[in-house]
Structure formats: structure tokens, C-alpha cells
């Protein structure tokens, strides 16, 4: 049985530093999908020069941030001294835990001739016990992101978070979660079965897609019902398309968010701000860049 669609919507355009982004989650219908509580999409654009300054150092607590760069390169540096640069297809993951400062810089990929930039940032809510852990960081280059070809030369699937068949991401799982990048060739289709009570959503970056016999437009965010069932993806276009499919088990603890902090109570939010203003998240040290 195919899963039903709960709703579809398009994001709101907002500015983050010098970037114009489409904020897809939270939206007018839902605040979270499984552990995912935030999704910003930087649509493809041409960047004419390399910027040297970051987006602006800022704190996080209680979540893990995940940046997935489709095209371009992204630098990460934080108050623990971590520094990394990923290129097109790479992933930066940072567990904020008890609190951290970080900054990032999105540029065109200096390893290719393309000046196009495109990418995503997700926030993944942590269970309360993991919110109390020390921060951590992972940088995963494109070649280390698990990927496999689909049957019948239909395309490929990348496992950014979680597992699919024999593929497993390096990113830690604190709950059942998944984030897949699915690439479908023209006229092809792909189906995936999700278990009961799994929250799931799809985002269609740049092309229309047919999901469970309903056509959705480019730029739409589509949430599915929680019952066990299939998600069938059909590409009726004349060119290849991409889709992000993500979700996981329901986050059942209380969720209280304000600004860059996602905690389980108002008191924890207050403490997050107090610790930040008291300097407990450390200081940025740009000399850590290599």
C-alpha cells in the first residue's frame, strides 16, 4: 500500500548572512519530521568570487547541524578548534551537545570549473541524554558518502544519514533516522518501503516529481502519513531529477526551541543563553584553519 500525502508546501525566502535561502522546515503545517527540526535550501546560483569571511560565528546547543553541499565547497570552523573544508557532494556534521560556537563559509568549488553553488542545512534534534554530551564534528568528502546504483539503470541513491540496504552513513544515529539523496534518470521510477510510525518527507529541489501518483512542483516540501507503506517516485520528465527523502521515528520528548537552541524545557533554553553569555561555549580561533 502506498503512503498518503499529508500536505505539500513551499518554503519562505529569508536571508542568512549574504545568502538568500528557502526555509522549508519548520513551515506552516509542521515543526519537525522525525528528529529533523530545520531545513534551509540554497538554490543553485552563480558565485562570481571567493568570499573570505564566514556567515558569522554563532552558538548552537541541543542539536546536530548537517550541511550537505550539492555544488560548491563549504568551510567549517568552531570553538573546539575543528576546521574542515568539504567539496561538491560532501557533508559537514556537528553535534552541538552542551554548546558550541561555529561559523561556515560557502563558496564555489575551487576543485572544479563550475561557479554554481547549491546546498542544504538540516538541524537534527538530539535526545535529552545526548544534549548533555560534549560537542563533536565530522567532515565527510563526497567519495566517502555511501552510494549505489539503482536497478534497471534508473539512477542512484546516496545515504547521507542512516542506512539503506547494505549502505550505512558515518554519521551517528541517536534515534532511527534517514536522509537519502535519490537521483532518477528520465522515465525511471524508484520505490522504498517505510515502517509504521516513521515520519517522512520529501523535498524537490529543482524539478517536478510524481510521488505516489500525484505530481508535485519543483521547490515543494511533501510530508507523508505515518502508516507503513511505499513511497513511489516517478520521473516523467525528459531529463534526470533529484529528490531528498528524510525522516525517522517520532521525537516524543518535549521540544522547546528559541533561536539557535533546541532543548526540552524553557528552563533549559534559559540555561543555554546564560552559558552562552558567560562564555562557556569557548571562543573562535581562526588560526585553526589549515
Q: What is the pLDDT of residues 4-42, one digit of tens each?
A: 999 999 988 887 766 788 999 999 999 999 999 999 999
> What are the C-alpha distances in Å from 71 to residues 108, 147, 244?
7, 17, 15
Query: So what's the pLDDT on residue 50?
Result: 81
pLDDT cut 90: percent of the chain above it = 87
Residue 3, C-alpha cell as written in the block = 503512503
pLDDT category of residue 290 using cuts at 50, 70 and 90 = very low
Residue 165 has pLDDT above 70, yes or no: yes
pLDDT cut 70: percent of the chain above it = 97
To the nearest whole number, what is the mean pLDDT of the chain? 94
Mean pLDDT value of segment 67-81 = 96
Residue 127 has pLDDT above 90, yes or no: yes
Domains of the chain: 12-282 (2.60.120.10)
Q: H-helix or E-strand containing 86?
A: strand 83-86
Residue position matching grid coordinates 535519490: 182
Quote the CA–CA distance of 120 and 91 in Å, as a whole number: 10
Mean pLDDT value of segment 106-126 = 93
Query: So what's the pLDDT on residue 267?
Result: 98
pLDDT category of residue 286 using cuts at 50, 70 and 90 = low
Quote the CA–CA distance of 197 and 175 in Å, as a whole number: 13
Do residues 222 and 189 lie in contact, with contact meaning Cβ atoms separated by under 8 Å?
A: no
Residue 92, C-alpha cell as written in the block = 559537514
Do residues 272 and 263 lie in contact, with contact meaning Cβ atoms separated by under 8 Å?
A: yes
Q: Which range is least confidently modeled, 52-61, 108-117, 164-173, 203-212? A: 52-61
Do residues 276 and 59 lie in contact, with contact meaning Cβ atoms separated by under 8 Å?
A: yes
Do residues 112 and 90 lie in contact, with contact meaning Cβ atoms separated by under 8 Å?
A: no
pLDDT category of residue 47 using cuts at 50, 70 and 90 = confident
pLDDT category of residue 136 using cuts at 50, 70 and 90 = very high
pLDDT category of residue 185 using cuts at 50, 70 and 90 = very high
Amino acid at each position: 500500500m502506498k503512503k498518503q500525502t499529508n500536505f505539500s508546501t513551499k518554503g519562505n525566502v529569508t536571508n542568512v548572512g549574504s545568502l538568500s535561502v528557502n526555509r522549508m522546515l519548520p513551515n506552516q503545517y509542521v515543526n519537525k519530521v522525525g528528529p529533523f527540526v530545520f531545513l534551509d535550501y540554497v538554490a543553485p546560483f552563480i558565485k562570481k568570487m571567493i568570499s573570505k569571511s564566514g556567515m558569522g560565528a554563532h552558538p548552537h546547543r541541543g542539536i546536530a547541524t548537517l550541511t550537505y553541499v550539492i555544488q560548491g565547497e563549504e568551510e567549517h570552523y568552531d570553538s573546539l578548534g575543528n576546521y574542515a573544508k568539504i567539496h561538491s557532494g560532501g557533508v559537514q556534521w556537528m553535534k552541538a551537545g552542551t554548546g558550541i560556537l561555529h561559523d561556515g563559509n560557502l563558496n564555489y568549488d575551487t576543485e572544479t570549473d563550475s561557479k554554481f553553488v547549491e546546498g542544504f542545512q538540516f538541524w537534527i534534534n538530539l535526545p535529552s541524554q545526548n544534549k548533555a554530551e560534549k560537542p563533536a564534528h565530522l567532515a565527510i568528502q563526497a567519495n566517502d558518502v555511501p552510494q549505489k546504483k539503482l536497478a534497471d539503470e534508473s539512477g542512484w541513491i546516496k545515504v547521507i544519514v542512516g542506512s539503506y540496504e547494505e549502505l550505512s552513513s558515518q554519521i551517528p544515529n541517536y534515534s532511527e533516522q534517514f536522509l537519502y539523496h535519490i537521483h532518477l534518470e528520465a522515465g525511471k521510477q524508484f520505490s522504498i518501503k517505510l515502517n509504521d510510525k516513521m515520519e517522512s518527507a520529501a523535498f524537490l529541489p529543482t524539478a517536478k516529481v510524481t510521488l505516489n501518483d500525484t505530481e508535485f512542483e519543483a521547490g515543494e516540501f511533501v510530508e507523508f502519513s505515518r502508516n507503513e507503506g511505499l513511497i513511489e517516485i516517478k520521473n516523467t520528465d525528459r531529463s534526470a531529477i533529484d529528490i531528498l527523502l528524510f525522516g525517522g521515528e517520532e521525537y516524543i520528548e518535549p521540544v522547546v526551541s528559541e533561536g539557535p537552541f533546541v532543548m526540552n524545557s524553557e528552563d533549559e533554553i534559559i540555561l543555554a543563553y546564560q552559558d552562552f553569555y558567560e562564555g562557556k561555549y569557548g571562543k573562535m580561533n581562526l588560526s585553526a584553519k589549515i
